[in-house]
Amino acid sequence: MFDTIKYIKALFKYLVYRILRFYNMFINSQYVRIVLVSTLIMLSAQVALCQVLNTDKTSNLDSTKKIQSSISLAISTDQQKKSLVDLFYAGDFTLIRKNNSTTLYTKIDRVTNGGVSIQDLGTFQLKNNHRIGKKLFLESFVQYQWDGGLGLDRRALAGMNLVQHFKNTETEDFFMGAGIFMENEAWNFSQVNDQTLINNTPINVTHPKLNLTAKYSVVNPTTNYEVIIRAFNQSGYFENKLSNRTSVFTTLQFPISKKLTTSFNIDCIYDTAPIVPIDHFHYNYAQALTYSF
């Protein structure tokens, strides 16, 4: 097991530093970064699909900065018809005390076209991370979210994970964990492929699930470019069948200034047994500016 973990970690580090080296070679000028970010803001577009798994932030408990916070905000409109409006907000606030950190995370993304909503999703999560050993942590969390683009009216859950940190520093974070949570979901049939089912009665389900999670992130100490890879596997039973959701989040962050960062985010999810008959695979791509303070 230990050799496998070392191999995975080494592979992640190699791929990440190759990416960082590439960007350091071609985007090593602050003026080039500013032009790149300005271009991305003008061309910014998000695919109207999203994930329905946990999105969260981890903090280094040994950090000298005991209060950490960041805000990402993006607004884009259709420059031709002035009818398409995309509003995106994500923010987090973290309080760090001895052997303990608490994070409040929020995310809202709404897209309208001519006043008609074509994407409406949001997430609120409160998480506590408590050190119970030198590298062992107990992570407890509650979460509430919705996603009109998938037909998810609400998703509420509460649970905990036991997390083993193999690396937790200012520049590198690597952990794996396992836990359990109780989940309540309400789904409607507005986004199903079979149009004859659209008026069906919404489904409300409550069930426990197992949760496996892993994360690796690294910061280049010279350029402060950061790569974050996060994976989840959540499994339970629905209608006497095993339901399994696997998701991978990848984020590339590039600093523009001391407090301003631009990020590229790609989220992918595969659900073996959706509650309603929607597509099994979904993904989300987003670009955002983040202000940290």
Residue-wise pLDDT for 244-293, tens only, equals: 999 998 989 888 887 788 888 888 999 998 899 999 998 877 777 777 76
C-alpha span between 228 and 247 (Å, rounded): 14
Nearest C-alpha neighbor of 41 from the set 71, 85, 91, 76? 76
pTM score, whole prediction:
0.71
Q: How many structural domains comprise the chain?
A: 1
- Let me know: does 121 contact 146? Beta carbons within 8 Å: yes
What CATH number does residue 129 fall under? 2.40.160.40
Range of the domain at 270: 2-292
Residues contacting residue 192 through CB under 8 Å, at least 6 positions apart: 151, 198, 276, 277, 278
Q: What is the pLDDT of residue 39?
A: 46
Strands 203-219 and 100-113: unpaired
Helix (H, G, I), strand (E, B) or coil at 253: strand
Joined tokens for residue 125: 């999560």
Q: Which amino acid would we find at residue 242?
A: L
β-partners of residue 251 are 228, 265
Mean pLDDT by 10 residues, the chain (293 residues): 54 52 49 45 36 46 64 65 73 86 89 77 92 89 91 94 88 92 94 87 92 92 89 87 89 85 86 90 79 72
Q: What is the pLDDT of residue 253?
A: 87
Joined tokens for residue 223: 């350029």
